């Protein structure tokens, strides 16, 4: 799948606000890929496609989790988590995409221990793209300009603190990712 094909698909699939967010993630992921020596085309493509399933029917997404034998605990946390792994599966069913790109899409919400450089770029770019506006985002932007792994840890901390303040459950994979990256020298 080319970037232009992905762009067309996303323009048709997402509502305007989410499309604008996506363009911000593309721009940010591209800049980070250049800075951290990652494949720029793959970063742009993963960023363009990352929220493909964001507005898909929740029941259908839950069905895909069951059909594909994905981690069933995905069904026990907020439905917000589903669009990343389900999006990667649906895209892989319909289009030819590299596993590296699919992996970045799959991991962009929860993170994953040992995630690749491309995964890390999309994970952070999604949180800091220029349209994001929440307390602490500027600190994440500064961190992302200095250290990719530092920015992954800071983004995970931000996510975990946000969930703690809301008194909602935290998906274990996110905590595992935090522990993994904090332990990385």
**Sites of contact with Fe ion (CB under 5 A):** 51, 126
From CA 169, how far away is CA 153, in angstroms rounded? 19
**Structure-token pair, residue 80:** 């917000």
Minimum distance, C-beta of residue 148 to Fe ion, in the bound complex (Å): 18
Minimum distance, C-beta of residue 87 to Fe ion, in the bound complex (Å): 8
C-beta of 38 vs 126, nearer to Fe ion: 126
φ and ψ at 108, to 5 degrees?
-70, -20
From CA 158, how far away is CA 142, in angstroms rounded? 14
**Structure-token pair, residue 166:** 């809301």
C-beta of 92 vs 184, nearer to Fe ion: 92
C-beta of 38 vs 51, nearer to Fe ion: 51
C-beta of 42 vs 51, nearer to Fe ion: 51
Minimum distance, C-beta of residue 9 to Fe ion, in the bound complex (Å): 15
Task: From residue 78, give the alpha-carbon distance in Å to each of 70, 145, 179.
Answer: 15, 31, 21
Minimum distance, C-beta of residue 171 to Fe ion, in the bound complex (Å): 14
């Amino acid at each position: 799948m080319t970037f232009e094909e992905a762009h067309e698909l996303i323009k048709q699939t997402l509502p305007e606000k989410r499309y604008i967010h996506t363009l911000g993630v593309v721009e940010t992921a591209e800049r980070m890929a250049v800075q951290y020596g990652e494949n720029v085309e793959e970063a742009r493509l993963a960023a363009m496609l990352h929220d493909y399933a964001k507005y898909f029917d929740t029941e259908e997404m839950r069905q895909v989790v069951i059909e594909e034998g994905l981690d069933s605990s995905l069904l026990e946390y907020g439905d917000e988590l589903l669009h990343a792994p389900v999006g990667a599966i649906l895209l892989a069913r319909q289009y030819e995409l590299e596993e590296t790109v699919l992996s970045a899409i799959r991991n962009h919400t929860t993170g994953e221990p040992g995630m690749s450089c491309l995964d890390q770029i999309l994970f952070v770019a999604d949180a800091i793209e220029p349209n994001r506006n929440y307390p602490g985002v500027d600190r994440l932007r500064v961190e992302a300009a200095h250290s990719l792994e530092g920015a992954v840890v800071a983004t995970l901390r931000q996510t975990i603190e946000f969930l703690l303040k809301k008194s909602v459950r935290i998906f274990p994979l996110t905590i595992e990712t935090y522990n993994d990256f904090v332990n990385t020298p």
